[in-house]
Amino acid sequence: MPRLWASIQIAGGFAMSPVGETTKSNLMQQMEMNFVTAFLCCRSSINAMRRTGAGGRIVNVASRPALEWRVGAGMVAYTASKAAVAAMTVALAEEVVKEGILVNAIAPSTMDTPANRQAMPKADHAAWPKVAEVAATILFLASPDNRVTRGTVVPVYGKA
């Protein structure tokens, strides 16, 4: 039987709008894209890891507003959906730790990508974490080298 060692939930989406302009449909879209997808992937991963009984690692992607709610002004639906990912990560980590499954998340600030540079041309791009730096954090959390870290939401902010 093939063994699933690590599951990394990186799919998601971003939308920015003030609460007064956010429709229920917009809210539900953020919850579906960010929280529900992570939840369903975690559920499937846990079930696959349980079949082998060999443990494993799960890494979710939250965001800076999931930890620092005030920076979520103007994007409340997004912030709430990523905060749900963070809360799920911590609760799930407690639920499955005795099975050898370590669950964590990262919370990046704005990452240095071409799309973000284009959207924010006057920002201090040097302060943003690089994609490779964020990936290295995920890689450690998902690796067998991570023997004890669980239930954390690791800020990956660079100098931002």
* pTM, rounded to two decimals: 0.95
The confidence band for 1, taking pLDDT boundaries of 50, 70 and 90, is: low
Tell me which of 6, 42, 78, 80 is the catalytic residue.
78
Q: Which structural domain range is residue 114 located in?
A: 6-156
Of 56, 37, 35, nearest to 47 (Cα)?
56
* Both tokens assigned to 63: 């965001």
What digits encode the pLDDT tens for the residues 104-146?
A: 999 999 999 999 999 999 999 999 999 999 999 999 999 999 9
Residue 103 class from Cβ within 10 Å (0-12 exposed, 13-18 middle, 19+ buried)?
buried
The pLDDT tens digits for 27-45 are: 999 999 999 999 999 999 9
d(CA 155, CA 157): 6
Nearest residue to 17 via CA among 73, 74, 63:
74
Percentages of the chain per state (helix, strand, coil), in multiples of 5: 55, 15, 30
CATH at 149? 3.40.50.720
Rounded to 5 degrees, φ, ψ at 13 are -155, 165
Per-residue pLDDT band at 19 (split at 50, 70, 90): very high
Domain count, the chain: 1
* Known active-site residue 78: yes
Residue 73 has pLDDT above 70, yes or no: yes
Q: Which residue type occupies 17?
A: S
Domain assignment of residue 1, yes or no: no
Q: Decide if pLDDT at 91 tops 70.
A: yes
Q: What is the pLDDT of residue 11?
A: 84
